[in-house]
Amino acid sequence: MKTESVKPASGKLGILIVGNGAVATTLMTGVMMVRKGLAKPIGSMTQYDRVRVGKGDEKRYLHYGEIVPLAHLDDIVFGCWDVYPQNSYQSAVYAQVLKKEDIDPVRKELEQIVPMEAAFDKNYAKRLDGTNVKDCKTRWDMVLALREDIKSFKVRTQCSRVVVLWAASTEIYVPVNENVHYHLSDLEAAMRADDREHIAPSMCYAYAALSEGCPFIMGAPNTTVDIPAMWELAEQMQMPIAGKDFKTGQTLVKSGFSPIIGEHCLGLSGWFSTNILGNRDGLVLDEPENFRTKEVSKLSTLETILKADDQPDLYSDYYHKVRINYYPPRNDNKESWDNIDIRGWMGYPMQIKINFLCRDSILAAPVCLDLCLLMDLAARAGRVGIQRFLSFFLKSPMHDYTQGEEAVNHLYQQHTMLKNAIREMGGFEPDEELD
């Protein structure tokens, strides 16, 4: 095994989270409880999954941490930004995801995490009304203020490395504009000119993070790092980026189940997906402009798995619809329904129904942990730009659409990409192929 090309995970790893809501506090609480031996990190690939290395008599199945130098949970330090001033203990209680007995053992640690003022524009999330907001005149002022926050967090916590994770609300949809988003110089000029139409607050977080030498992960479907200007900045700063939108519930099922239809050469007539959820995420998505951002993300999955060009008889004319409905009584307990109309032998119709009753933040927390640990690993391995091997965790994986590249949404192909990257960074051959 050769790991000399990957720098060791020495010192503390800071995880700076944009958002101090249900997902963030569930992640923080879980990591702290695991460190105390009071919980298990169930759902985390980095903590449980094994990868085969070698073949034949040399074959072994090893945990990720046995192949590559991952940061230990004991070395993680959390910080955050949020539009609401409550500390992470108060926020965790308010979120009502975890029981009080699962929060109180780490109350003191959570109370010490007080959110920094958020870089916020109410036009991008009209349903949020927080007061813990920076007074910035321009988007460029936002960038400068966020860079200072990252610097002070590093000094205060004495972290040797920091990863920035977006776990905040979905912003309104921002179409990619070639005059603003394709070149770094144009993006910077728009920030300085306070172009609020084309520069979302999330772009300011990403720009600040990369400028301070921090990998950035976009956990919402926002237009943020999936633009050429950000790829240029990542290349310039030699930093990895990943996004977008955590793949946890319905889309996880879709990316895993649709290959069954494809591999068995069954036809598809239609796929209708609907969700109900409460919590702050559901409240924000109840705004049509914010839902549009999520809809674009969720609709992108099927078309790259069940391709009309490859099988016109089977997939040339199916109907795909996605809906999300805000329903406060469910809070974080999201429920999704999928109705799938398929065609079998001689075109005879059949139906499949999937009803997934899940807990949004319980599914998202281990995804966040894995993304942060693997992005830190990627940075230490010298990987730069879009980290395609992390597509497994993301609903709308980033890809270079300017070159006609297509995103990989097929769950099993994504898992192969993930395993091959772990092998490669651990000094082994990436010996599985994508068919």
- Round to whole Å and give the CA distance between 259 and 331: 31
Fold of 250-357: Dihydrodipicolinate Reductase; domain 2 (3.30.360)
Fold of 13-246+361-425: Rossmann fold (3.40.50)
The reported pLDDT for the residue numbered 410 is 94
Q: Show the tokens assigned to 339.
A: 């109705």
- CA torsion sign for 283, 289, 293, 299 is positive
pLDDT band at 148 (very low <50, low <70, confident <90, very high): very high
Q: Residue 3 above 50 pLDDT?
A: no
The reply to whether domains 13-246+361-425 and 250-357 share a CATH topology is no
The reported pLDDT for the residue numbered 295 is 75
The reported pLDDT for the residue numbered 299 is 73
Q: Residue 4 above 50 pLDDT?
A: no
Q: Kindly report the CA angle at 177 between 171 and 182, in degrees rounded to 5?
A: 110
pLDDT digits (tens, 9 = 90+) for 10-26: 999 999 999 999 999 99
pLDDT band at 300 (very low <50, low <70, confident <90, very high): confident
- Round to whole Å and give the CA distance between 241 and 231: 8
Which of 384, 382, 397 shows the shortest CA–CA distance to 232? 384
Mean pLDDT of the chain: 94
pLDDT digits (tens, 9 = 90+) for 100-109: 999 999 999 9
The reported pLDDT for the residue numbered 301 is 84
The reported pLDDT for the residue numbered 243 is 93
Number of Cβ atoms within 10 Å of the Cβ of 103: 21
Asked if 215 contacts 379 with a C-beta cutoff of 8 angstroms, the reply is yes
Q: Residue 252 above 80 pLDDT?
A: yes
Q: Residue 168 above 60 pLDDT?
A: yes
Q: Residue 282 above 90 pLDDT?
A: no
The reported pLDDT for the residue numbered 421 is 97
- Round to whole Å and give the CA distance between 35 and 73: 7
| pLDDT over 70 percentage in the chain | 98
- Round to whole Å and give the CA distance between 145 and 295: 32
| Per-domain residue ranges of the chain | 13-246+361-425, 250-357
Q: Show the tokens assigned to 283.
A: 């409240």
Phi–psi pair at 372, nearest 5 degrees: -65, -45
pLDDT band at 298 (very low <50, low <70, confident <90, very high): low
- Give the start-end residues of each E strand in 137-239: 161-166, 216-218
Number of Cβ atoms within 10 Å of the Cβ of 183: 15
Q: Show the tokens assigned to 291.
A: 């839902």
Which helix (H) or strand (E) segment holds residue 388: the answer is none
Q: Residue 1 above 80 pLDDT?
A: no
pLDDT digits (tens, 9 = 90+) for 48-93: 999 999 999 999 999 999 999 999 999 999 999 999 999 999 999 9
The reported pLDDT for the residue numbered 139 is 98
Contacts of 77 (CB under 8 A, 6+ apart): 12, 13, 14, 15, 157, 159
